Amino acid sequence: MSDCRRQWNREDELPVYLAKPIATGPNQRQKSHGMFSSVEGAYDNKTIDFDQYAVGRKGNRSSRSSSRERIVDGDFEDYEISGGTISSPGERDDGRPGVEITDQAEKECRYEQNNGKSERLLIKGGRVVNDDQSLYADVYVEDGIIKQVGENLIVPGGIKVIEANGCMVIPGGIDVNTCLHKSYLGTPPVDDFYQGTKAALAGGTTMIIDHVTPQPGDSLLEAFEKWQEAADKKSCCDYSLHVDIPHWHEGVKEELEQLVQEKGINSFQVYMAYKGLFQMPDSQLYEAFSFLKEQGAVVLVHAENGDLIAQEQSKILGMGITGPEGHPLSRPEELEAEAVFRAITLGNRVNCPVYITKVMSKSAADTVTNARKKGSVVFGEPITASIATDGSHYWSKNWVKAAAHVISPPLSPDPTTPDHLHSLLACGDLQVVGSGHCAYSTSQKAIGKDNFTLIPEGTNGVEERMGFVWDKAVAMGKMDENQFVAVTSTNAAKIFNLYPRKGRIAVGSDADIVIWDPDKIKTITTKAQQSALEYNIFEGMECRGGPVYVVSQGRIVFEEGKLQVQQGTGRFISRKPFPDIAYQRIKYRNKVMSKQGVSRGMYDGPVYDIPATPKYITPAPSAKTSPTTHQPPPIRNLHQSNFSLSGAQIDDNIPRRSGHRIVAPPGGRSNITSLG
């Protein structure tokens, strides 16, 4: 294993100097001035001095602390001597991760750490992996903030030191889709904010964004405060909240504005499914999108065609199918793709960023991909379940197992779906992985034992999220470690305007850090999990990659399999509207997309007289909302430019057929009206 480790490190150093700009700067070359002047650069030294470009290597640029030599230099023997512990590569063969904590002043720090209050922390010798580059550097943390990143840091004595020994040091994961407080028919999920955030931390996720799900008719603000209260009391890691809009009316606007301006919420979810409950028709969606865009919010969309689902559900129940297999049968993936397409169309029309939650099927993902190729501002979020398992389990003969997989949109029965989704994640067409964690116990699921439409929807995944992305995408060679950081953390931080406070290891960022062991192998089982759920849908799956240490708010909360958390330590992180990653493009498009009418002379020919029967009113639907009365009709702004796609028509000015207008004068021809 140690050999593997060395190999791994050696290879991974390659991108480091390629990514870093050349330290000394390129030689200014002379322009050649004629055929007899010397060839450019002919006398320059052509030998590349790699050491000069290398980062984190012993070279002429900076000599690193003598106590720490890198394995790449070949002297493995004095691998690690820092405080007191010596770990040689051989020692790690026993399966323990190659990372050590040492205390320079052991007693103090042990004491502090036991209280969970270690405020100063140095992570030494790790490979810091951000979404754009990886580099070897130490990280010094104080008061929950990253204070220094670099080599040879000057740090106070007596601090706790984590020796990362070349392991990856990544920004803590951000899980953007959890439902830890969403009750179903009055029963709360078994994972509340305490259980859920514990599970999150154990999986390397240091921040969650939970969904506030008010019932139709409830006040959004009240619901928000209820959620905040619950989370403040119980959450073990930082959190933020999305607010779901269960129905649309004028009063909601005020509340939304308040939530954006005062409460620090910048993302709201709308539903295209759940007919008769949360579903909004297209015109309401249009209004909601328009309003949220003005507020600078990100619109999350639950994309499924609720009308058709309702029809299919009654059809399938009518056929006598009442088990969980009815769930995917009544929600075929086409309905998901259709709604995604419609949501994107709405987003394009309103010019508003759209974020598709829970991308579960190939066709939905392809729709997102195509839209991005056409330039739509749209983000797609697959979840742990959709990238790690598939919907064939709905046909399991074990009712409990089948019911545990019930989630909307359903897992696709196509077993090649996870693979397809990883590929799209790796190439950037899908951006963020959430978990959709919403855990109901078996007895809660059993509410729907005779009717699949009553089964509460939700799967687990907050704990397994990072591990499966690593296992399925990075370990398979689809994705590199930087993209791994991007999809598990950085992109989420950018989309929801938390960047660079979260989602990056940089000076000034929050000290939410994970030390990641790419070789750790873990078998998922209900017994070993943090969630209170009795049935883990990933039961028995092996997963490579996992956190060794998790640092949240500057404190070590997870260490070699042991969790040390405290309820109520999580802070609410407020978020500002207008995230750059979504709204920069929107702003420019706003300017470009303004439209202008054509200035024409007034039409002064005969006008057909229409009887004012209200029943008959025109096929134009807007007649009620925008009657012709409240616009200044006759005076047209003749200064407006007459933008014309077709340019001037050759016959524009020729009053061709002018004699023809009176072919049907008001008096004549009117016999047509009396025909029918």
Question: What 3-state class would DSSP assign to 556?
Answer: strand
Q: How far is the CB of 509 from other proteins (least distance, A)?
A: 34
Closest CA to 410 of 542, 302, 321: 302
Q: How far is the CB of 290 from other proteins (least distance, A)?
A: 8
Check if the beta carbon of residue 416 is closer than 8 Å to that of residue 386.
no
* Cβ-based nearer residue to other proteins, 136 or 271: 271
Q: Identify the DSSP state of 38.
A: P
Q: How far is the CB of 397 from other proteins (least distance, A)?
A: 5
CA dihedral sign, ordered 190, 193, 195, 201: positive
DSSP one-letter string for 373-405: HTT--EEE--BHHHHH--GGGGG-S-HHHHHHT
Q: How far is the CB of 593 from other proteins (least distance, A)?
A: 10
Whole-angstrom distance between the N-terminal and C-terminal Cα of the chain? 90
DSSP one-letter string for 257-286: HHIIIII---EEEEES-STTTT---HHHHH
* Cβ-based nearer residue to other proteins, 294 or 534: 534
Q: How far is the CB of 218 from other proteins (least distance, A)?
A: 10
* Cβ-based nearer residue to other proteins, 261 or 443: 443
d(CA 86, CA 80): 6
Q: How far is the CB of 195 from other proteins (least distance, A)?
A: 9
Q: What single-letter amino acid sits at 124?
A: K
Check if the beta carbon of residue 466 is closer than 8 Å to that of residue 205.
yes
Closest CA to 177 of 383, 439, 390, 483: 383
Q: How far is the CB of 619 from other proteins (least distance, A)?
A: 4
* Cβ-based nearer residue to other proteins, 6 or 401: 401
* Cβ-based nearer residue to other proteins, 501 or 636: 636
Peptide bond into 500 cis (omega under 30): yes
* Cβ-based nearer residue to other proteins, 317 or 475: 317
Check if the beta carbon of residue 469 is closer than 8 Å to that of residue 492.
no
62 token code pair: 């900076």
Q: How far is the CB of 527 from other proteins (least distance, A)?
A: 10
338 token code pair: 């259709």
* Cβ-based nearer residue to other proteins, 55 or 273: 273
d(CA 310, CA 318): 12
d(CA 609, CA 629): 18
* Cβ-based nearer residue to other proteins, 99 or 406: 406
* Cβ-based nearer residue to other proteins, 321 or 476: 321
* Cβ-based nearer residue to other proteins, 35 or 602: 602
Q: How far is the CB of 302 from other proteins (least distance, A)?
A: 10
CA 531 to chain CA centroid, Å, is 22
CA diameter of the chain: 108
d(CA 263, CA 222): 12
Q: How far is the CB of 353 from other proteins (least distance, A)?
A: 16
Question: What 3-state class would DSSP assign to 248?
Answer: coil
Q: Identify the DSSP state of 486.
A: I
* Cβ-based nearer residue to other proteins, 290 or 482: 290
* Cβ-based nearer residue to other proteins, 48 or 593: 593
Q: How far is the CB of 590 from other proteins (least distance, A)?
A: 13
Q: How far is the CB of 461 from other proteins (least distance, A)?
A: 19
Q: How far is the CB of 210 from other proteins (least distance, A)?
A: 16
Phi, psi of 184 (to 5 degrees): -120, 115
* Cβ-based nearer residue to other proteins, 19 or 662: 662
List, as own/partner pairs, every contact residues 283-292 make where C-beta atoms lie below 8 angstroms and the sequence separation is at least 24, other chains included. Answer: 284/248, 285/343, 285/346, 286/346, 286/349, 286/350, 287/248, 288/245, 288/248, 289/346, 289/347, 289/350, 289/352, 289/354, 290/350, 290/352, 291/253, 291/256, 292/256, 292/268, 292/352
Question: What 3-state class would DSSP assign to 48?
Answer: coil
* Cβ-based nearer residue to other proteins, 399 or 572: 399
Q: How far is the CB of 521 from other proteins (least distance, A)?
A: 19
CA dihedral sign, ordered 118, 119, 120, 122: positive
Q: Identify the DSSP state of 92.
A: G
Q: How far is the CB of 385 from other proteins (least distance, A)?
A: 15
Q: Which residues pair with 103 in a beta bridge?
A: 160
* Cβ-based nearer residue to other proteins, 315 or 576: 315
Q: Identify the DSSP state of 557.
A: E
* Cβ-based nearer residue to other proteins, 117 or 669: 669
Question: What 3-state class would DSSP assign to 567?
Answer: coil
Q: How far is the CB of 309 from other proteins (least distance, A)?
A: 7
